Amino acid sequence: MSLVNFLCGIGVVQGVVMAGVLLYAHSGHRLANAIMATLVLATAAILLQKLLIQLGVFQDYPQFSIILSQLRFTWGPLLYLYALSITGTRLNYRHCWHFLPAIVFFTVNNLKFWQLDPDQQRLFTAYLWNYLGSDPTTEAIIWSFMGSFWRALIESYFHFIFFAVQSTCYGLLVLRLIRDHNKRLEQHFSSLEHMNLRWLRLLTITFLAVLGLLLLFNRLPLFLNLYDLSTPFANAYAVLLVALFYAVAISALLQPSLISGVIQAKDSEPAWLKEHEPFSPPKDAEGSFSGSRTITVDSPVDTENAPVEPDAKYKRSKMSSEDGQRYKIKLMQVMQNEQLYLDSDLTLPELAEAAGLTAPQASQVLNGQMSQNFFSFVNSYRIDLARRILLDPKTANLPVVELAAEVGFKSKSSFYDAFKRATNMTPTKFKRAMAEASETEILSAAQNINE
């Protein structure tokens, strides 16, 4: 057995086992896991087809030889529906239209193929599996019973081009969905380590990169007739895709439940906003997302001098500007005086309760009056404290992991991300920059004294 056949066989077995684990695992994402199990099985089916081709099984059963190949058109839709399900969207029968291309390709391709006799089926599939390679006489026979329409589709690689475009579109949709999911959670939670779906974002980007490599090293040479695509190197993309989807499956199995968090985030939005406006992250005056604002060292949130004009989408609320200003002061005072930001699990309802407000009122004040979400509001206090610790000679050498925990972050990575977002530099670079600034001030003062 060749190496390619061995890897395909291992991939099929692993896919079936992984799908079974996903289906029977106790999880808060039963539907999402079922969708992921289907995606893993669809991937394993492509490997199974490659294995059966190499073993010659389809020579005896040619009528089944192209059925499994149509399943690749379900990869993108299944990945997208998984992302929808795990982020709290309730799926219904209307989402089935995503599988329309797969159904059309399956129906049209197989209806034509099943009209051929077994010898014609074997001849045609051998032509396809040899990457459209055959002698002119055989090709003439094939196109005599397939027709000019199918010849145009096959020689233009229409199926692959459609698959590449479809997968790219769904990959981009998944990335946008994850972005919107994170923005919604930032309205409610101060820590997103286990809810931000970073793993799914990374693997989706990897999936798009694999598609690019497939086009560059597999299909483009095929278009140009540069080398033999039956070699193991030409089939390496299949192994990469299988490894990628199995990595997604394992990550999905370990993903904690997000449903309760998504529901809480939705409940924190003002009722009038949920009813009339689709979710959209707040933006500052320059049109950028409020989470990217830079906070000064002297004050965690410069809300005293900030403009109090609410965003346009909040003007329909019944909260007056006087109430909004009063609520804003309450939130700032309770956050500063009680140091709630040191609680790494702090949520918007907890802050609102401490300030004597409801969660929708607090959300409206943060987004409308202060032009930022709850996540950035809390982290601004944490980063301000971190900068003061780094500037204090007694605590400047505190390890980053301990510093992150000291100011309320759950992990070193989330602390780095928030610190760099606020200061445009890492904690180490910030400390070095402040030290260099101090040395410059000392030298300048010494020169003034000498003069």
Nearest to 252 by CA among 95, 36, 20: 36
What is the structure's pLDDT at 267?
Answer: 53
pTM of the model: 0.76
**With pLDDT > 70 as the criterion, what percentage of the chain qualifies?**
74
Per-residue pLDDT reduced to its tens digit, 71-100: 989 999 999 999 999 888 889 989 999 999
**One domain, residues 280 and 176:** no
Nearest to 327 by CA among 377, 277, 267, 276: 377
**One domain, residues 257 and 274:** no
Name the least confident of 118-127, 147-156, 243-252.
243-252
What is the structure's pLDDT at 293?
Answer: 33
**One domain, residues 141 and 275:** no
What is the structure's pLDDT at 10?
Answer: 81
Per residue in 236-275, is it b (16+ CB within 10 Å) or e — as a string?
bbbbebbebbbebbbbbbebeebeebbebbeebbbeebee
State how far Cα 315 lies from the chain centre.
32
What is the structure's pLDDT at 223?
Answer: 54
Per-residue pLDDT reduced to its tens digit, 316-337: 456 778 888 889 999 999 999 9
Question: What pLDDT band is residue 220 in, cutting at 50, 70 and 90?
Answer: low
Q: Which two tokens stand for residue 376?
A: 């950035």
Q: 144 pLDDT exceeds 70?
A: yes
**One domain, residues 196 and 124:** yes
In a domain, 325, yes or no: yes
Mean of per-residue pLDDT scores for the chain: 77
Question: What pLDDT band is residue 192 in, cutting at 50, 70 and 90?
Answer: confident
Q: 15 pLDDT exceeds 50?
A: yes
**One domain, residues 242 and 129:** yes
What is the structure's pLDDT at 161?
Answer: 84
What is the structure's pLDDT at 439?
Answer: 55
Per-residue pLDDT reduced to its tens digit, 165-191: 999 999 999 999 999 988 888 888 888
**One domain, residues 132 and 162:** yes
What is the structure's pLDDT at 137?
Answer: 85
In a domain, 405, yes or no: yes
Residue with tokens 């059309």: 104
Q: Judge whether 161 and 146 are in contact, CB under 8 Å.
A: no
Q: 263 pLDDT exceeds 70?
A: no
**One domain, residues 336 and 212:** no
Q: 447 pLDDT exceeds 70?
A: no
Q: Judge whether 289 and 281 are in contact, CB under 8 Å.
A: yes
**One domain, residues 257 and 273:** no
What is the structure's pLDDT at 281?
Answer: 40
In a domain, 448, yes or no: no
Q: What is the mean pLDDT of residues 402-429?
A: 87
In a domain, 449, yes or no: no
**One domain, residues 287 and 226:** no
What is the structure's pLDDT at 167?
Answer: 92
**Cα angle for residues 366, 367, 373 (degrees, 5° grid):** 75
What is the structure's pLDDT at 249?
Answer: 74
Q: What is the mean pLDDT of residues 227-246?
A: 60
For residues 264 and 211, the model is more confident at 211
- Which residues are within 8 A (CB) of 394 and not within 5 positions of it... i.e. 6 or more apart? none
Q: What is the mean pLDDT of residues 348-375?
A: 89
Instruction: Tell me the range of 267-276, 300-309, 367-376, 426-435 where mean pLDDT is highest.
Output: 367-376
| Residues 45, 50: Cα–Cα separation, whole Å | 9
3-state SS class at 279: coil
In a domain, 446, yes or no: no
Counting Cα atoms < 13 Å in the Cβ hemisphere of 445 gives: 6
Q: Which two tokens stand for residue 137?
A: 């006489």
Among 197, 230, 262, the domain boundary falls at: 262
Residue with tokens 């900068």: 387
**What is the extent of the structural domain holding 149?**
3-262
Q: Judge whether 85 and 79 are in contact, CB under 8 Å.
A: no
How many C-beta neighbours within 10 Å does residue 363 have? Answer: 25
CATH number at residue 151: 1.20.1070
In a domain, 445, yes or no: no
Among 262, 285, 305, the domain boundary falls at: 262
In a domain, 450, yes or no: no
What is the structure's pLDDT at 101?
Answer: 92
Q: 279 pLDDT exceeds 50?
A: no
**With pLDDT > 90 as the criterion, what percentage of the chain qualifies?**
17
Q: 241 pLDDT exceeds 50?
A: yes
**One domain, residues 93 and 190:** yes
For residues 257 and 209, the model is more confident at 209
Q: 356 pLDDT exceeds 80?
A: yes
- Which residues are within 8 A (CB) of 180 and not within 5 positions of it... i.e. 6 or more apart? 279, 281
Among 242, 262, 282, the domain boundary falls at: 262
| Residues 314, 360: Cα–Cα separation, whole Å | 12
Q: What is the domain count for the chain?
A: 2
Nearest to 75 by CA among 42, 49, 103: 42
Q: 286 pLDDT exceeds 80?
A: no
- Which residues are within 8 A (CB) of 233 and not within 5 positions of it... i.e. 6 or more apart? 217
